[in-house]
Every structure is written in C-alpha cells, then in structure tokens.
C-alpha cells in the first residue's frame, strides 16, 4: 500500500516540515506528497495554523490524500484544527507509543508534531514509524472508533 500524504505547517514548524516532506518523497510507501504550506520566503509564510490544519483535514475528507503530517510549535494547534473537519482524526504525538496508538487504537489519519517540543531526528522517526501502522477494523478499538463516526453523523 502506498499513501498520498499532505504536509503542512505554520511558521513555527517550517524547518521540520521541509525535512519531513523530503523524507516522505523518498519513502517507497508514499506515492505523492501534497505540500499545503507554508513556504519559506513566500506570501503564505505567516499563515495561521488553523488554515493549514483545516486544509489538510479537508484534503483527507475529499479523498485527495490518505494521511497528513502537520507541524507547528507544539503540534496541538494543528491537531485541533484538523479535528474540526468531520471524519478526520488527528493526534499530537511526541513519542513512539503515542504515534503507534494514534493509528492502531484511534485510526488517526493525521499526525501532528511540535517543532518546539521534539528533536528533528525523533520527528523523522515518528513519521517513519507512523506510516507503518494500519488500523485493523476487526480490532477491539474498531467499536470505539465507530462511536466517534456515529456521533459525527448526528
């Protein structure tokens, strides 16, 4: 399986986003990387994180991408923003176990990272690991994720 991945950041996550996008483009599990911004030296360099997080969530909802990796200062703002889009589940992770459980327990399509919270090499590792996890819809967690899906349809 290969993924179409969106990447995005605000100005507090630009350095990491650029490196993570390069890593993703070189990863054989990734068929496409859609860079939603911000971009160094461009007009959009100082766009607020909600615009990026919402755009990533909408790209997932529309089926343009399968997953997204978002970076801001802490990862929290990006996760909050992406989670506003119905059907999208985003998690902030700063360790391997959280990145793993975001997919295996919660079927998250968005990994949010904090450039001011984790080192670059850890962020790169978390993205590599996160890409390797696939949600099992027969797992005990499936019923819990379904409760969230059902609530969103109300």
Q: How many CB atoms lie within 10 A of CB 110?
A: 28
Q: Identify the bridge partners of residue 4 per DSSP, sorted by sequence position.
A: 32
Short-list 58, 62, 54, 67, CA closest to 109: 67
Phi and psi for 37 in degrees, rounded to 5?
Answer: 100, 175
Of the residues 9, 72, 108, 154, only one is catalytic, namely 72
Is 72 catalytic? The answer is yes
- Helix/strand/coil (H, E, C) string of 56-116? HHHHHHHCCCCEEEEEECCCHHHHHHHHCCCCCCEEECCCHHHHHHHHHCCCCCEEEEECC
Query: In whole angstroms, what separates CA 24 from the centre of its chain?
Result: 12
HSE of 111, CA atoms in CB hemisphere, 13 A: 32
Catalytic residues: 72
């Amino acid at each position: 399986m290969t993924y179409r991945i969106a990447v995005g950041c605000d100005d507090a996550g630009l350095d990491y986003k650029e490196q993570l996008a390069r890593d993703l483009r070189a990863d054989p599990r990734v068929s496409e990387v859609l860079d939603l911004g911000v971009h160094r030296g461009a007009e959009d360099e100082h766009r607020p994180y909600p615009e990026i997080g919402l755009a990533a969530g909408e790209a997932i909802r529309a089926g343009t991408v399968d997953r997204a990796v978002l970076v801001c200062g802490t990862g929290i703002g990006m996760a909050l923003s992406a989670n506003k889009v119905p059907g999208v589940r985003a998690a902030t992770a700063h360790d391997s176990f959280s990145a793993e459980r975001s997919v295996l327990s919660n079927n998250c399509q968005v990994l949010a990272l904090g450039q001011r919270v984790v080192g670059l090499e850890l962020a790169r590792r978390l993205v590599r690991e996160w890409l390797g996890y696939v949600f099992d819809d027969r797992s005990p967690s499936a019923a819990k994720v379904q409760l969230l899906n059902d609530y969103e349809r109300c």
